[in-house]
Amino acid sequence: MKEPFVFSGKWFVSIKFRLLAFGITMSILPILLLGLYSMKTARSDLESSINKNHSMVAMRVANDTAELVSTLRTSLETMAMAESNRLLTDEKAVKERLLYTIINRYPYIEELAVVNKEGQELTKVSRRYAVGPNDLRQVALKPGVYESLQGKSYVGAARLEKDNNVVFTMAVPIFGQSEKGSLGGLIAQVSLRSVMERIASMPIGGGGYIFLVDEKGFLIGHEDFGQVVRGQSVMDSLAVQELLKGRGEGAVPTPMRYVSYTGQEVLGVYTRVRGTDWGVIIEQPTATVYGPLWDLIFKLAAAMVAVMIAAVAISVFFAFIFTRSLNALSEGVSRVSSGDLDYRIPSQGNDELGQVVEAFNAMTSELRRRRELEVSMYQTEKMAAIGLLAAGVAHEINNPVNTLSFYVTDLLERLRLEGAARLEQEGEFEFYLQDMKEQISRAATITESLLNFARPQSDRVEAVLIERLLSDVLPLIRYRFRKQGVEMTTDIVKPLPAIRASASQLQQVFLNILTNALDAMPLGGKINVSAECLDRGENRILRLVFADTGHGIPQDKLRQIFEPFYTTKPFGQGTGLGLSVCYGIISKLKGHIYAESQEGQGTKMVIELPVTEVEDGTLSHSNS
């Protein structure tokens, strides 16, 4: 019986797995890609929006600060020009009134003083304390005074005062109407704290902050003024480093993503304040930037997971419905390949798969019909062979029967003349009976071989030994060997493994080949049967060669000898099915059979069978 069909491939190459994988992939992949694209786009848009907002605020802060400095300097220069005589020559009260006018107009000015061309303070007013005569000093060497006495305006570096107020010096020259050169200067101390209070009111976003740095990268302004007081270093901020490298000179702030001096990853922009060496920097931690985005992503991911689960469930449902028909088809293939040609696959509908099932059932019916014809053909050939062997078998049986008749006649005659007691005493009874037993066994062996050969064909595959099959076939044609004077020898290279085959079918193959060889040597000759096991790569084969010394086969007919109903024998001496049957049997065993022949020099029939199972039994060398 044939082994049932079993899918021998990996489970992951099965149609069911590939169909499920395709369905699940096509369900998940588009949603996943869409989700990832949406998340990336949302993140990019959010960063772009925040950077745009920060850039606008930074530009506004820089412009406001630059405008403040420019407006303040312009106002001081205007007063210095318009009120030069009064600032330098009028009484103290008049000068103070003019200075208070400026301080009241600009709340950022903490202190304002007038100096003469020798650098002596003439008048000074302050928001922080009352100025007395002893508070007027010689300041010619202080920053800004020298520049104003040289006729230049001056904006100084920011510094932290003792009262924790960050201020910078602004100085403008005072020119007389008739005299050339600077007659003195107007010196203002401007507070940045008031500037930062104004800046802090600008919208930045959760966790964001604005700060100012000077030309050396020192913190001079921050929403959290305590950091300025503490002298917090901001040099680790990439924006500060870029500013110190002279970058950011353009009007458009530069957005970046980096780790700030706080140790947090931030989105930051920076720009320079026009007319100064200062820089404005805005930073916002990414943790607060992406907080709303992560909430949105979480909700979107939850929705995507729900959609994917539903899509996968639908894909699996339809995949199992589709593969149910495939399973039925696979079951049918398994049953038919195991030899059950009566099995029919239940109808699977009118779709393409249903049509495949109907075609498979039709193919199975055709295979069953062909098998019946094949079995009938094999049996017909076998019966024809038995008819041809009948005379030889009858002669073989007649020899032991004649011997038995002689022994029985002689034994009866001696019983009549000598008596049973004497024959028993002399041991003649045992001698006669032993010879009669041997003749009966000989006739029984011939009869058993004929019955085994004539038995209906069996497809049962089992472990068989080649020499034993030959020994079962030889009694059927031994008479022809003796009659035609043909000598048979065997040349078997031991040890030989047993092979898996149908014993009755191989017997028919051997009998057909030996009968054809005898037909080719009517006046005598030799037949040699050789067998050996060969290795061909990873496979092992059993090779049998039947070589005769007959008349051979012409080359132009050699290709046709395995065709059904083709024969080179005279009419009435063959059916033309013998070698065709042999070819079919060997092909079923996944073997090969072919002929090598030269006309007038004999023929070699070569059979190669795969060794698929090694048995304990081996074949020994023998000659007969």
Question: Is 604 a domain residue?
Answer: yes
The last residue of a domain, from among 456, 473, 506 = 456
Determine which helix (DSSP H) or strand (DSSP E) holds 581, and give its type and residue range. Answer: helix 578-588
Cross-strand bridge partners of residue 265: 259
Coil, strand, or helix at residue 231?
A: coil
The last residue of a domain, from among 456, 481, 510 = 456
435 and 513 in a common domain: no
521 and 387 in a common domain: no
Nearest-Å Rg of the Cα atoms of the chain is 59
Average pLDDT over residues 196-213: 77
Average pLDDT over residues 307-330: 75
**How many Å apart are CA 38 and CA 80, to the nearest integer?**
62
Would you say residue 616 has pLDDT above 60? Answer: no
614 and 465 in a common domain: yes
Answer yes or no: pTM beyond 0.85.
no
Alpha helices in 265-351 (DSSP H): 286-289, 291-337
Question: Is 273 a domain residue?
Answer: no
Report the amino acid identity of residue 63. N
pLDDT at 171: 92
Task: Look at the block and give the residue holding tokens 């903490």.
Answer: 110
Question: Is 70 a domain residue?
Answer: no
Residue 7 — pLDDT band, cuts 50, 70, 90? very low
587 and 502 in a common domain: yes
440 and 360 in a common domain: yes
Average pLDDT over residues 556-580: 70
Question: Is 392 a domain residue?
Answer: yes
411 or 462, greater pLDDT: 462
Question: Is 136 a domain residue?
Answer: yes
Would you say residue 492 has pLDDT above 70? Answer: yes
Contact assessment for residue 356 and residue 15, using Cβ atoms and an 8 Å cutoff: no
Question: Is 264 a domain residue?
Answer: no
CATH code of residue 162: 3.30.450.20
499 or 615, greater pLDDT: 499
Question: Is 223 a domain residue?
Answer: no
187 and 101 in a common domain: yes
pLDDT at 208: 84
270 or 381, greater pLDDT: 270
pLDDT at 617: 41
- Residue 202: both structure tokens together: 């600008």
- Residue 419: both structure tokens together: 């008596």
606 and 465 in a common domain: yes
Average pLDDT over residues 307-312: 79
Question: Is 74 a domain residue?
Answer: no
For residue 459, CA distances in Å to 66, 367, 381, 502 come to 105, 15, 16, 6
Cross-strand bridge partners of residue 191: 167
- Look at the chain and report how many structural domains it folds into: 4
Q: What sign results for the dihedral spanned by CA atoms 272, 274, 275, 280?
A: negative
446 and 464 in a common domain: no
- Whether residue 143 has a cis bond before it, omega within 30° of 0: no
CATH code of residue 556: 3.30.565.10
**How many Å apart are CA 50 and CA 203, to the nearest integer?**
11
Average pLDDT over residues 274-294: 82
Q: Tell me which residue of 527, 490, 501 sits closest to 586, measured CA to CA.
A: 501
Average pLDDT over residues 282-297: 80
Chain-centroid distance of CA 127 in Å reads 77
Per-position b or e across 270-292, b if 16+ CB within 10 A of its CB: bbbbeebebbbbbbbbbeebbee
Contact assessment for residue 184 and residue 80, using Cβ atoms and an 8 Å cutoff: no
Range of the domain at 158: 83-195
515 and 405 in a common domain: no
Contacts of residue 617, Cβ cutoff 8 Å, sequence gap at least 6: 463, 465, 498
Residue 547 — pLDDT band, cuts 50, 70, 90? very high
**How many Å apart are CA 244 and CA 267, to the nearest integer?**
19
Strand ranges for 101-253 from DSSP E: 109-116, 121-126, 154-155, 159-160, 166-175, 182-191, 209-213, 219-222
pLDDT, tens digit (0-9, with 9 covering 90-100), for 32-57: 788 788 778 877 777 788 778 888 88
476 and 406 in a common domain: no
Task: Look at the block and give the residue holding tokens 């000898």.
Answer: 561
The last residue of a domain, from among 416, 433, 456 = 456
Chain-centroid distance of CA 252 in Å reads 48
169 and 95 in a common domain: yes
350 and 333 in a common domain: no
